[in-house]
Structure 1
């Protein structure tokens, strides 16, 4: 299944993507008001039954798509997780024995086709294409060999970053990673039964059609399963929680001179098994 959340007029709902439209599953399954509620109650079978033979209620082009999970409890982001990215920093450091991570707030993300915003305090808005895992089954201290069984599915992220603001303090990237509406998640959640998360997945990011990032998950220092194992050592992952699993080489900061995003740019993040997340860039409205 492909599940998404959306706004139509003044109404926020969620549903299954079929035939270029969305079947409104909030209307058909009132016990599940959100995608997160569906995950919490393990309602995938109910969703599949409701989708069977159903015609779309709204067209994809007639609504505003939101991040598939609109109310995640946690958004955990992994830094420098592709092996060749460590060399990209040119600081002589060795690969880390443990994942680097930070958190983001839900308000820092928009959905597919909604513009991401460059804040007025910086001209250093950058892109980072990533695969995002969505947790379906809760767990603590999950061994790697069982970790993927806790994943409900995957979506895409542009983990937009304001680069100069990640350097405001010695050990702190939080502010540069959390400007309102600076990143995007979407276009939908592809459920784990339709994607092999243990197989290599190719991720590409383009800016105005130019390929800037192109790599596969084989290059990850810490696999999806290993990330879940490590994260659940210290915190319980719950349904709807998200893990943004890292970005390949080729972010704008690594060019000489850097290639920052400017209004009018269009960023596309693609994994064929998931889809394409597309967002234009605008200046934050005053």
Structure 2
């Protein structure tokens, strides 16, 4: 596995609009406080064609403004192209909060999910290639009275839908805060083989920005016939407040454990998507 510090070599389906999107147009000069979190994933080079596919997106935004002004925005998009020669699945989720003045708070949450079911024969090696980007951004003018935070995670889950057993997983998560040190977590099972990790972090004055890019391959040989479900989920949360007001608990969307519970019960993909949307 190769680890690089710096993102100049990123070549990714969505990388350019994402990496610039959080920073351009919401620079510190245009608002007193800013928080942004975005995630993008592309999956391709599938060894097998799915029997069923699906996507799910959810967004939530809330603002409370007394003397100030605040804008919360959440966007999510996902698709799984399975009816063409080259299979492609991709998603993008982005949450931003910006404001000015005093006594306000904002919260934005976004989630984008990709789901594919595969019926694998005995001794089949199932594989795919993946690329991911996680981008976090915070900026405040007055750290004594303003707070901004940006959190996000990217998760891959491979589930045996007959036994409801989680076979493999990949987890990338991070948090950026105006009021404390950042955090980053990264873990994966043996069937995931990351080949590149690019990490870039910038801290200048009261502005912080981080971008994590990964690419690699998933590959696993199944000794017996297997009904396999691939689930990929992005979750992003941005929060900001000035002269602290109560910000709603960020539990509306960011709940991968609950999300997984909905996915592994039952076998019909469309029913699962309906359950997911009704629970969020």
* Length-normalised TM-score, structure 1: 0.28
Name the TM-score, length of structure 2 as normaliser.
0.28
Greater share of helix residues, 1 or 2? Answer: 1
Instruction: Name the structure where strand makes up a greater proportion of residues.
Output: 2
From the CA coordinates, give the structure whose radius of gyration is larger: 2
